[in-house]
Amino acid sequence: MFEFCVDPKTLEGISWIACYLTTPKHQSMYWSVLVVLLLIGLTAPFTMLLGFFGAWLKRSVFLPFQFMGWLYTSTVRGVPELIFFLFVPIALDQLVELIRHKIKCSDWTDAVYQGNDFVVCTAAKMPLGEAEQWVHHTWNFALAVTAFSIVFGAFAANIIDGALKAVPKNQLETAQAYGMSKRQIFFRVHMPQMWVYALPGLSNLWQVLIKGTPLLFLLGIQDIVYWAKELGGLKTQVYQYPHPDIRVWYFLGLLFFYLLLTWISQIGFDRLTKIVSKGQATMGGQAATGGRV
């Protein structure tokens, strides 16, 4: 990275560390921090969307929808996440390839499932074999976001459903009595009052999501845990171990990274709680309004 890094062996102290921490591999690790943040940033909104959709299914008066909502939340919640993170990306990947295969290679005669192998025509590969490296990375990442969203969405659906049920009936009935439509009741009264009941659960879910990001490693995405393990145990010609095994420092760094992330989010959630509980007859609401007059 720096000009003086041509031969690190001749360097000492700060300049050696500066060179060591800016090797291409280390730069990949810094990028992977962004990957983790991007995963969280993308998963959160999709989780909320799926959460609302799941809650809507569960609350539907149409029985098949209700059943689908129940099936989604109870299966995902009942299965260990690890299994889902392994299953969803592979299943999704194969499903997409199978569909592309049926469309693009309709003249293909061989079976797709040959024993233990899953074989589709080259044109159906997703992404295509000749596609650039970043396309592959993006596709894998998209699968990871999907898997995370499906898993956390089921929890969010339960939280939102419970929170919607917790809103006092008379608040909704009053809106009805004043001529509001179902839509208006939902967006003007039901949803605004729901957050105060949903936030504690969602804040937990958010922490679990942050803490779950190292599972990316399982999906073949080189996240920060991968790099910490890799770099901590790396011995190269140019950079000799500054210490017999420095993995402990990398993991300590990770520990602080995750603590910082969860600490910042806790502050964020505390603020949100204050906002949504304004006027509500909860502890937070009373605190925010300065108590009863």
Partner 1 sequence: MAIEDQANQGGSVLSMVDIHKRFGDLEVLKGVSLEAKAGDVIALIGSSGSGKSTFLRCANLLEVPQKGDIRFQGEAMEWKVRGGEREPANADQVRKVRANLSMVFQQFNLWSHMSVLQNVIEAPVTVLKKSKIEAEALGRSLLEKVGIGDKADVYPSQLSGGQQQRAAIARALAMEPAAMLFDEPTSALDPELEVEVLKVIRGLAREGRTMLLVTHDMSLAREVANHVIFLHQGVIEEQGPPAEVFDSPKSTRLQQFLSASASE
Lay out the site mask for partner 1 across 254-293 (x = CB under 8 A, - = otherwise).
----------------------x-xxxx---xx--xx-xx
Q: Site for partner 1 (CB under 8 A): which residue of 36, 126, 147, 175?
A: 175
Instruction: Compose the 152-171 pattern: x for residues touching partner 1 by CB under 8 A, - for all others.
Output: ------------------xx
CB atoms within 10 A of CB 112: 17
Q: Does 193 bind partner 1 (CB under 8 A)?
A: yes
C-alpha 25/C-alpha 228 separation (Å) is: 10
Decide: is 78 part of the binding site for partner 1 (CB under 8 A): no
Shortest distance (Å) from residue 193 CB to partner 1: 5
Q: Tokens standing for 257?
A: 């990274």
Q: Closer to partner 1 by CB, 151 or 276: give it.
A: 276
Residue 32 near residue 43 (C-beta atoms within 8 A): no
Residue bearing tokens 């779950």: 212
Smallest separation, CB 53 to partner 1 (Å)? 24
Q: Does 178 bind partner 1 (CB under 8 A)?
A: yes
Would you count residue 77 as binding partner 1 (CB under 8 A)? no
Does residue 236 touch partner 1 according to CB under 8 A?
Answer: no
Residue 198 in contact with partner 1, rule: CB under 8 A: no
Question: Residue 132: how many CA atoms within 13 Å on its side-chain side?
Answer: 3
Nearest-angstrom CA–CA distance, 251 and 231: 11
Q: How many residues bind partner 1 (CB under 8 A)?
A: 27
- Calpha distance 282→275 (Å, rounded): 12
Write down the least CB distance from residue 173 to partner 1, Å.
6
CA distance 212 to 152: 10
Binding mask 88-127 for partner 1 (x = CB under 8 A): ----------------------------------------
Helix/strand/coil for 113: strand
Q: Which of 273, 127, 109 is nearest to 202 (CA)?
A: 273
What residues does 113 pair with on adjacent strands?
118
| Residue 184 interacts with partner 1 (CB under 8 A): yes or no | yes
* Greatest Cα-to-Cα distance within the chain, rounded to the nearest angstrom: 82
Q: In the complex, which residues of this chain contact partner 1 (CB under 8 A)? A: 170-171, 173-181, 184, 188-189, 192-193, 276, 278-281, 285-286, 289-290, 292-293
